[in-house]
Amino acid sequence: MRIAGLDVGSKTIGLALSDELLLTAQPVGVLRRRGTRADVAELVAWSREHQVAEVVVGLPLELSGREGHRARRVRVLASALEEAFCGPVRMWDERLSTRAVEQVLIEADVSRAKRRLHLDKLAASFILQGYLDWLRAGGAASAQADEEGKQ
C-alpha cells in the first residue's frame, strides 16, 4: 500500500509517493493539466499503476486559514477524484509548502531553471511527508476519535 501526494496548480500537478512502510515521501513527477476530467482519469490510472490506496491533496489555504479562489479550484479536482478513485482522498493544509521548498532549493544554489523543473513534485513530496509524519504521530487515531465523539 502506498499513499500519493498531490500539489495541484493551475498548469501542473506535482506527484509524490510514499514508500510501502509509509515513512517517507519521494517526489515522482509532474502531470500537465488538461482539464478536470482528463486529469482525474490520468491520476486514477497512475494510482492503479503504483498501487496507491489513499491520496492526499494539498489545499492552498490563505495565510488567514480561509479558502480562497485557488483552494476552491483544488476542491473541484479533489471532489472529482474522490468520485473516481477507489480509496480515500484527503485534503491537507499546504500553506507555504511551495515557498518552503523553493527556499531550500535557493539555499542549495539550484538554478532558477532547475527549480522550475522540480518545484511541483518537491512540493507534493513536502505535503505528503507532513501527512505521513502526522499519521505516525497518531493523527489518524485522534481524528477518528474526534469524529466518533461528535456522533
Residue 146, domain member (yes or no): no
pLDDT score at 145: 46
Residue 10, domain member (yes or no): yes
E-strand ranges in the chain read 2-8, 12-18, 25-32, 52-59, 89-93
The CATH number linked to 92 is 3.30.420.140
DSSP output for 50-89: TTEEEEEEEE---TTS---HHHHHHHHHHHHHHHHSSS-E
pLDDT score at 146: 45
What does the mean pLDDT of the chain come to? 86
Structural domain count, the chain: 1
Please report, to the nearest 10 degrees, the dihedral formed by the alpha carbons of residues 65, 12, 40, 17 taken in order. Answer: -80
More reliable by pLDDT, 61 or 105: 61
For residue 108, count other CB atoms closer than 10 A to its CB: 9
The pTM score is: 0.83
pLDDT score at 115: 62
Residue 151, domain member (yes or no): no
82-89: average pLDDT: 95
Residue 118, domain member (yes or no): yes
Cα separation, 63 vs 131, whole angstroms: 19
142-149: average pLDDT: 48
* Beta-strand pair 52-59/2-8: parallel
129-149: average pLDDT: 72
Residue 51, domain member (yes or no): yes
Flag whether pLDDT at 32 surpasses 60: yes
Residue 150, domain member (yes or no): no
What is the domain range of residue 37? 2-139
